[in-house]
């Protein structure tokens, strides 16, 4: 493994021990998560969780453009083609990748120590998966969060089947259907972030955390210290103007329908004059019809489920998107050939048949144990 893909540092704390700092280090790729990066990060986080000298963990990304722009979807498509050409093991790389990614995300959600995520710049897809699991999710004036899977034929995964349901009625579905980009204020309003801290104060914040006198083994005390420090640095009044909240009732009226076809029709037929709403509408209009169905179905299936159950279900659907769905075509059109003219398998949401949808929920391992059964 190339350990340079994720940099790890143990920065000494004033009272002994340290703060563990993990930095995604692929800035030219906007810190998109390769399988190797996922495995490196998961291994180190497990190690730090057991190390009494590590009092808290800080996760960020190298560069000033992105915390993490998602998963390495080009590699997923490339490996799928190799498997298809070899005529064996089709979907095995996808199974390995998504299993590792969701296991890492689940570790973050259940981490036993203070976990701070510096979600600065672009935060998309898999980057939101990392952010969502943080105990302290910090956003800045440059934060732009999105789940744009509608544009590549995937669907909102990385636990989104669970956490999008925690938003006001219909909002999570709207974000999933349209791939809408939201800012720091929206993230705070919707429960996707905890505190706004100006970007320029990052280094000062880290230094202040390292000035703390942590007591080894006292996690509650460590949490209290971290919260006190963050309280000194947060500045919600400096967050940008909200995009979602002013349209909350309108979004709810568009999405609280009995069928996904009706919600999509309502969004596409909306003629409200607003740049943000118009961009979202255009994205859905060109998006993958099967993705729209999957976003709807997954939110329905996990309205009351556990996070672990959501991840297990997402693993099945993500593998099938890779093998059976539009994912390869969507990635080709947007990121490989860049013609931005994907040839989706279905003309529109009304053309997606029940058999096509049912196939996306068939576990590749049949009735046997799945890779995430131990979560």
pLDDT in tens, 29-87: 999 999 999 999 999 999 999 999 999 999 999 999 999 999 999 999 999 999 999 99
Farthest-apart Cα atoms in the chain, separation: 63
Flag whether pLDDT at 20 surpasses 90.
yes
Provide the domain limits for residue 188.
3-359
What pLDDT is attached to residue 216?
81
CATH number at residue 255: 3.90.226.10
Q: Confidence class of residue 219 from pLDDT cuts 50, 70 and 90?
A: confident
Whole-angstrom Cα distance, residue 331 to residue 291?
Answer: 13
Whole-angstrom Cα distance, residue 4 to residue 25?
Answer: 7
Percent of the chain at pLDDT exceeding 70: 99
Q: Confidence class of residue 218 from pLDDT cuts 50, 70 and 90?
A: confident
Residue 253 located in a structural domain = yes
What pLDDT is attached to residue 3?
63
Compute the average pLDDT of residues 283-298: 98
Residue 191 located in a structural domain = yes
What pLDDT is attached to residue 272?
95
Q: Confidence class of residue 2 from pLDDT cuts 50, 70 and 90?
A: low
Residue 372 located in a structural domain = no
To 10 degrees, what angle do helices 289-301 and 260-268 make? 130
Compute the average pLDDT of residues 132-158: 98
Residue 164 located in a structural domain = yes
Flag whether pLDDT at 217 surpasses 80.
no
Residue 183 located in a structural domain = yes
Flag whether pLDDT at 185 surpasses 60.
yes
pLDDT in tens, 3-17: 699 999 999 999 899
Compute the average pLDDT of residues 320-346: 97
pLDDT in tens, 85-113: 999 899 999 999 999 999 999 999 999 99
Residue 374 located in a structural domain = no
- Total tally of structural domains belonging to the chain: 1
Whole-angstrom Cα distance, residue 184 to residue 241?
Answer: 9
Q: What is the pTM of this model?
A: 0.97
Compute the average pLDDT of residues 174-185: 99
The average confidence (pLDDT) of the chain is 97
Residue 149 located in a structural domain = yes
Q: Confidence class of residue 330 from pLDDT cuts 50, 70 and 90?
A: very high
Residue 365 located in a structural domain = no
């Amino acid at each position: 493994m190339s350990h340079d893909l994720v940099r790890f540092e143990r920065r000494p704390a004033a009272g002994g021990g340290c703060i563990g700092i993990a930095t995604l280090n692929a800035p030219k790729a906007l810190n998109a998560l390769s399988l190797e990066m996922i495995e490196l990060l998961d291994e180190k986080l497990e190690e730090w969780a057991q190390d009494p000298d590590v009092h808290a963990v800080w996760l960020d990304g190298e560069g000033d453009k992105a915390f993490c722009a998602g998963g390495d979807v080009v590699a997923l498509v490339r490996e799928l083609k190799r498997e298809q050409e070899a005529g064996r093991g089709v979907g095995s790389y996808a199974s390995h990748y998504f299993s590792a990614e969701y296991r890492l995300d689940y570790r973050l959600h259940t981490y036993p120590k203070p976990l701070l995520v510096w979600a600065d710049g672009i935060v998309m897809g898999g980057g939101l998966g990392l952010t969502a699991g943080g105990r302290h999710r910090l956003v800045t004036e440059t934060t732009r969060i999105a789940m744009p899977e509608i544009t590549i034929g995937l669907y909102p995964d990385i636990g989104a089947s669970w956490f999008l349901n925690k938003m006001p009625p219909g909002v999570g579905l709207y974000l999933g259907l349209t791939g809408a980009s939201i800012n720091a204020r929206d993230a705070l309003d919707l429960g996707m972030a905890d505190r706004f801290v100006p970007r320029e104060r990052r280094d000062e914040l880290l230094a202040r955390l390292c000035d703390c006198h942590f007591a080894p083994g006292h996690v509650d005390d460590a949490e209290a210290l971290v919260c006190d420090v963050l309280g000194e640095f947060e500045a919600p009044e400096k967050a940008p103007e909200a995009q979602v909240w002013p349209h909350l009732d309108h979004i709810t009226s568009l999405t609280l329908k009995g069928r996904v076809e009706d919600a999509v029709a309502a969004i596409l037929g909306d003629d409200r004059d607003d740049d943000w709403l118009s961009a979202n509408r255009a994205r859905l209009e060109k998006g993958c019809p099967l993705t729209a169905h999957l976003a709807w179905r997954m939110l329905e299936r996990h309205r009351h489920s556990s996070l672990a159950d959501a991840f297990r279900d997402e693993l099945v659907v993500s593998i099938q998107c890779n093998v059976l769905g539009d994912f390869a075509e969507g990635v080709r059109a947007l990121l490989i050939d860049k013609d931005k003219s994907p040839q989706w398998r279905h003309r529109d949401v009304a053309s997606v048949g029940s058999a096509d949808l049912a196939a996306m929920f068939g576990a590749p391992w049949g009735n046997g144990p799945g890779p995430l059964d131990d979560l």
